[in-house]
Structure 1
């Protein structure tokens, strides 16, 4: 069977199921509309540590260990841990892998890393290389702000187009040959796009073109329609990127408005919380999917979604050299039937 369909899309032969998920969310996130869906929340964004970076590491590790415990699994029951974060050299995930002592792949595709990790795990499972994987991503508002923008002590005011980095982590166990879903059935690997946007306080408009390209490519490769999905979910475009994506696709003849949600807009109450145009970060899509959307899929309120995580591939170095922000979007089809 040929697994590649079209230019960028692949179909998995095996029954690759999401066995379970777990989410942990920070103080601002736990005051938002998804608070009842998160598995765990915390009020001290230092988590008892002496730096925000150490807190992010502990948050990521704690979430994975809780997921394994809930499923009565040990580290030795996991063939590989795949994950990433936003900090230089993905140090949060590296330190987590050190503590877990599970064979490890560290990935970096910024805020799209969670879906990239799903894709990597699914490829290994479909190829019979492994039987079980755990994946996770994490981000922390206070670590990302001082790495990518300004020290928190400056109290710099963000423009309305900016997004708040989600303090949170999502983790998932993927297995093969399960009888019950939801299942990962297809993936579309994104291309790096350049929307000639260089403002790190407006990443939503930079990422929108990558989301549009991946959505259109996925539908074209599989010869399917928007109506074949209960929802198309983007990772963290926020209100600005959400509207650009929706309007651009409409001009291309794709009306997704009634079937379109964005994790960055769901995680916060963008009207009543001071979060500018919504959420972003490597922990944004993972925290929202492993809490809200996984719940909807398990309860059969949703049966088939296209999950498209977007990433702004900038760094302090590229910003300092006045480069545009390269962006990417990866997609997976997740459905209850296989």
Structure 2
């Protein structure tokens, strides 16, 4: 388990351990409620001043990051055209992440959110590698291999800010912008490679050593809209949709057994939507659960070197599907907490 993920989990346990004392203090300070009806107000409502919250959570991820390479291929002195792709590598994202989320709202108009995530469980699915190397039959899969994930690390950081252009007792809408940073780092060990099409010389097993390292970094400025709903007192539903045509990625693939070093530079699109339900079960304390989906689609080029010497540049395509279920527990600071 990565050390940073352990620190986040430890922080979550310490936060929850402090809940009884804070709960007792909050209960003692709570004013008595008479027979008059209480107007329904969003938990995020603060007429002036600042309200903030912090939460710790755990996430179950699924999905993958996949990259394909193919023609056109540029060499010194020429370009070779052909089919796409001739190679595809898929890296799993079936991981658990610990999350730290922070929200600050200024004058009930300007919400700012930040999230940091680190892995607490490595992927259990295998990485797959596919190659189509027959020019006369480019749709025939010729080489297939699976590799186990021997080491994994990731960092996900997301920050956004918006402006609430609509505020009503039970609904609020905001628009804004944000920035997403993701970095995934894999070490893999070959398990078995063979030729589904029956080509000789491609059937062998790994020897347990690390055969490949793959690292990809996404940097995404994006636009977003958020909605907040208050169906009943102490409960809220949050929804978000975000999009960017300015997504960028850099990846680095090192094939240790072949002394091959690949580096890619890509740009493209990013789409995200999320929904979360939150319930304030005690003064200032809340729990939440939700779902988030992200999709990245990028195109660019990848350069290849052998033994540190430039060899060629290929066309590259990257896709990532990221599906996340999460639960959190948190604490509300400042004005406006029920």
Please, what TM-score do these two structures have when normalized by structure 1?
0.23
The higher-RCO structure (CA 8 Å, 6+ apart) is: 1
More strand by share: 2
Q: TM-score, normalized by length of structure 2?
A: 0.23
